[in-house]
Every structure is written in structure tokens, then in C-alpha cells.
Amino acid sequence: MASSEYHERIWEGVPEGCDPPDLNLRLAFLLERVPARSRVLDVGCGEGRFTLELAQAGMSVVGADVAEEPLRRARVTHPELDMRLLPAQGPWPFADAAFDVVWAGETIEHVADTLGWLSEVWRLLGPDGLLLLSTPAHPRLLRLTLALSGRAFDAHFDPRADHLRFYTRRSLTRLLGDFGFEGVDVRQAGGPPGLRRLLLGSARRSQAPA
């Protein structure tokens, strides 16, 4: 099965119009950090909820996804939005330095070629461009629970699930720093202390090549 077919198959099981998880928390993080009138790429945009919010906040925003089905849904409900289909592999169809901000909400954990994906993010960001992202967290207490419970481990790492990568605050910080991003800030959010369910990250594109 080709990667594009794989992603289309995933969306077949997602009901239309569902709010993204932790919508308000992630939206507040995003809108607090995007400079006014920025050119924004919402990569992994799904049905375009964040794309819409960014557009309504005055940004020049493009929503992009590797699956056509969520883009079709977004075009039906909000035809004014600029929604683009990305290739499952290879370069993205945008010029170098086309964006001031790349927002990747609950996306990086689905990426098989993480370094290739980050290379495209780097290429599309202009000088001092900003990467903002969210991804599920794996704090210490969760890792301990998974280590002690075979049932919990099997459920969390179900081989049929679509999450391919599993991040901690430290591993995500290290990944972005090693790739050449500067000012990397990864924080945990959502849920009680010790069991935060979400990582919220920001990083700036340095002037040196990745």
C-alpha cells in the first residue's frame, strides 16, 4: 500500500467535524507565538481547524496534508481557505523561505522520515523563521506505568496505530537542537503534574545550514 493510500485509509475512520484534541490549549499556545501578519504553513492540517483560526487572526496561511479526504472536508466547510495536498514522499511544493512560521500540530509523531521532514521545514522557513509544534508527551510516570504493565504497554504501542514516533521533552529538545534550530523551548502541558499528555515546542531557524 502506498503511503498516500495509507493516510487516506486512516481518515476513512475519522468522523467529520471532530475537534482536534486539546484544541483550546494548543490554539492558545499557537496564537500567542505567531507574529502578526505572518506567512504560516499549517502542515498536517487535517480538516483545517487551526488553518481557519490562523486565517481569522489575520495570518496569510496555507493548510497542507498528505491525505486528500480531510482537505476535501475543509474545502466544503470553508472554501475560502488555501488547502494543499502534500506528496507522501519528496520535496513539498513550496519555494525556499516561503513562510515565517510552520505549525505542526500532532504531526511529527506520524512521520517516518523525521530528518527529511525537518529538512523541508527548514527549507521553507525564512531567516529567523519559527517552528511551532505539538506532539503527545511521554513523561516519567507514564513510562514507568508502561514498563510495569504489559497490557498498558501493548495498548500504547499497538502496532496497528498510526503513531510512529514517541517523544519525551528531552528527546524532542535534543532532536531540534541537533538539527540546528536555536532557542528550542519544549514544555509539557495538559493533565496533572507527572502525567502531562502534551508537548508544546518552539524553535527558530538559525542562519547556519542544517
pLDDT at 4: 74
DSSP state of 160: T
pLDDT at 7: 81
Q: How far apart are the first and last CA of the chain?
A: 32
* 20 pLDDT higher than 60: yes
Grid coordinates representing 113?
522520515
The answer to whether the CB of 123 falls within 8 A of the CB of 96 is yes
The answer to whether the CB of 83 falls within 8 A of the CB of 48 is yes
- Ordered strands of the 60-65 beta sheet: 82-85, 60-65, 39-43, 99-105, 125-136, 198-205, 181-189
* 17 pLDDT higher than 50: yes
Kindly report the backbone phi and psi dihedral angles of residue 191, in degrees, each rounded to the nearest multiple of 5, phi listed first: 90, 175
Sequence ranges of the domains in the chain = 3-13+20-205
The answer to whether the CB of 39 falls within 8 A of the CB of 59 is yes
* 209 pLDDT higher than 60: no
State the average pLDDT for the chain: 90
CA-to-CA distance for 86 and 44, rounded, in angstroms? 9
pLDDT in tens, 47-81: 999 999 999 999 999 999 999 999 999 999 999 99
CA-to-CA distance for 70 and 81, rounded, in angstroms? 13
pLDDT in tens, 159-202: 766 778 879 999 999 999 999 999 999 999 998 887 889 999 99
Q: What is the pTM of this model?
A: 0.90
pLDDT at 1: 37
User: Residue 9 — pLDDT band, cuts 50, 70, 90?
Assistant: confident
β-pairing verdict for 125-136 and 198-205: antiparallel
CB count in 10 Å sphere of residue 134: 26
pLDDT at 163: 75
CATH number, domain 3-13+20-205: 3.40.50.150
